[in-house]
Amino acid sequence: DTEVTQTPKHLVMGMTNKKSLKCEQHMGHRAMYWYKQKAKKPPELMFVYSYEKLSINESVPSRFSPECPNSSLLNLHLHALQPEDSALYLCASSPLIPTYEQYFGPGTRLTVT
Amino acid sequence: ELKVEQNPLFLSMQEGKNYTIYCNYSTTSDRLYWYRQDPGKSLESLFVLLSNGAVKQEGRLMASLDTKARLSTLHITAAVHDLSATYFCAARRGTSGSRLTFGEGTQLTVNP
């Protein structure tokens, strides 16, 4: 299995809602990532988990809360988002050696109203 | 701080022609990646380049890496419409960890 899956594909939420994005991989990768991508822009790294521990937080606002329940799953909990948070949220996973090649999921298209 | 610059940012070419996309990075990096993204879709890994002089080819695409010049190229041979997409290069920050810095992307359109 060389796939990263993400659910849901689309999400519309109000600014007072709480929702979660889910990501799963079964490639045995021990690093998992959350990226945010705006239209016509490159992905921006948000969080990195290595061996199920948060290793990088790119100064992301606390309204985004990541969680890694086990080596295959990654969640992103959303609360009190702003309209400017509307974007494509991409999950990726990678081995930690030797290539660190990141495999991306299909993404969740998030719209905050 | 690692910066990655791609050029051109927009490329319109005719089918059958050849062209090269350039990716310069500002500080030492030991891994260079190329990704493809179709509109509204996710990123697809094309190439991982690990060492100076590395060259990889897949179909009409060939990628190379010159670590001394801090330059990677993606060469397109005899372009076809199916290659129309946005191409990103990304360099690993430093020589450890898995944090990438992406270029701005090259939006390629291949016209019949």
The DSSP code for A55 is E
Distance between CA atoms of residues B80 and B111, nearest Å: 8
Query: Which of B42, B88, B99 has the CB atom closest to A42's CB atom?
Result: B88
B-chain residues near A101 (CB < 8 A): 33, 45, 48
Q: Which of A51, A7, A19 is nearest to A32 (CA)?
A: A51
Going by C-beta distance under 8 Å and a sequence separation of 6 or more, which residues neighbour residue B23?
B4, B5, B6, B32, B34, B71, B72, B73, B74, B89, B91, B103
Q: List CB contacts (< 8 A) between A107 and chain B.
A: 41-42
Q: pLDDT per residue over B17-50, tens digit each?
A: 999 999 999 988 889 999 999 998 999 999 999 8
Nearest to B98 among A94, A105, A106 (CB): A94
Q: Does the beta-carbon distance from A99 to B48 stay under 8 Å? A: yes
Query: What's the CA angle centered on B24, arms B32 and A43, to 5 degrees?
Result: 60
pLDDT score recorded for residue B98: 80
pLDDT tens, B41-77?
999 999 999 888 899 999 999 999 999 999 999 999 9
3-state secondary structure of A8: coil
* Residue B52: per-residue pLDDT: 84
Using the Cβ of A96 and the Cβ atoms of chain B, whether some distance falls under 8 Å is answered with yes
HEC states along chain B? CCCEEEECCEEEEECCCCEEEEEEECCCECCEEEEEECCCCCEEEEEEECCCCCEEEECCEEEEEECCCCEEEEEECCCCHHHCEEEEEEEECECCCCCEEECCCEEEEEEC
B33 interaction partners in chain A (CB closer than 8 Å) = 101-102
- pLDDT 10s digits, A30-88: 999 999 999 999 999 999 999 999 999 999 999 999 999 999 999 999 999 999 999 99
The stretch A14-42 carries a mean pLDDT of: 95
